[in-house]
Structure formats: structure tokens, C-alpha cells
């Protein structure tokens, strides 16, 4: 039996009790070449921290949950450049990181706990 990662996505915008716009939901099924899934709990400080994905053979899908109730986390692939933020209690992803890239995280005000979910491609 093939190993598959199933991702289901949908998005809607609601103003009061009226739905203004809905983007159709869709499902991706990604066949994994290698059977590996890992969860990386990480304390992200206000100093940049890098995330090791060395447990993966080939980078696949990644999701990052910011578990903090107050502070956001900045995300980038180049040191000191963080074009993505994950607000408190929110999730970024799933996305796929290019081979050879390093994931850098930095908390904006105080240390934040995050969970990073990563799958082999």
C-alpha cells in the first residue's frame, strides 16, 4: 500500500452571518517515497534559531503551529530575513522547503513554543 499524505484545504470570508466569498475546497494527495513523519517541538527565542530537518531524506510538506497565546513568530530561509509571520495560535503551511535551505525562526517579543510537523517527500 502506498504511503500518501492527504491535505484538505478550504477558506471562506464571513461578515457577520453572511458568507461574502468562499474559495472552493480542494484535496491534495501526495505519495511519499519514504515513510517518515516527524514532530519537532521548539522553543523559539527573540534571537534567531535554526530548525534541523536532518531526519528527513528529502524535504516534503512542513507545517508550523505557533502555540503561544500572545506573540507571533517570524519565519525565513535566510538569516535575518523573515518574510513570513505566524500570529499567536495560528498555523503556517503546509508548504515545501527547497532542498538545501534552512528554516529560521524568531519570536517577536518573548519566547514562543512551536510545533513543526515535517514529512518526507
CATH number at residue 73: 2.60.120.770
Q: pTM for the whole thing?
A: 0.83
In tens, the pLDDT along 48-97 reads: 999 988 877 778 889 999 999 999 999 999 888 999 999 999 999 888 88
Quote the CA–CA distance of 56 and 62 in Å, as a whole number. 11
User: Average pLDDT, stretch 30-35?
Assistant: 72
21 part of a folded domain: no
CA distances from 77 to 15, 48, 81 (A): 35, 11, 7
Question: Does a structural domain hold residue 69?
Answer: yes
What's the confidence (pLDDT) of residue 35?
Answer: 65
Rounded CA Rg of the chain: 16
Q: What pLDDT, on the 0 to 100 scale, is given for residue 21?
A: 72
Mean pLDDT, to the nearest integer, of 115-121?
A: 87
Residue 83 included in any domain: yes
Q: How many domains does the chain have?
A: 1
* Mean pLDDT value of segment 32-61: 83
- Mean pLDDT, residues 4-14 taken together: 80
Task: Assess contact for 73 and 96: CB atoms under 8 A.
Answer: no
Q: Domain span at residue 48? A: 34-120
Specify if 102 maps to a domain. Answer: yes
Residue 29 lies in a domain: no
Give me the pLDDT at residue 1, please.
58
To 10 degrees, the CA torsion angle through 73, 77, 81, 85? -30
Task: Tell me if 79 is assigned to some domain.
Answer: yes
Specify if 73 maps to a domain.
Answer: yes
Question: Is 109 domain-assigned?
Answer: yes
Amino acid at each position: 500500500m502506498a504511503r500518501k499524505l492527504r491535505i484538505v484545504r478550504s477558506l471562506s470570508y464571513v461578515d457577520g452571518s453572511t458568507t461574502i466569498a468562499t474559495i472552493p475546497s480542494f484535496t491534495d494527495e501526495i505519495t511519499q517515497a519514504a515513510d517518515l513523519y516527524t514532530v519537532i517541538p521548539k522553543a523559539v527565542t527573540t534571537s534567531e534559531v535554526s530548525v534541523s530537518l536532518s531526519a528527513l531524506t528529502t524535504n516534503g510538506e512542513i507545517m508550523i503551529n505557533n502555540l503561544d497565546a500572545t506573540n507571533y513568530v517570524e519565519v525565513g530561509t535566510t538569516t535575518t530575513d523573515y518574510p513570513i509571520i505566524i500570529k499567536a495560535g495560528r498555523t503556517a503551511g503546509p508548504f515545501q522547503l527547497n532542498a538545501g535551505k534552512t528554516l529560521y525562526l524568531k519570536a517577536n517579543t518573548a519566547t514562543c513554543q512551536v510545533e513543526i510537523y515535517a514529512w518526507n517527500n
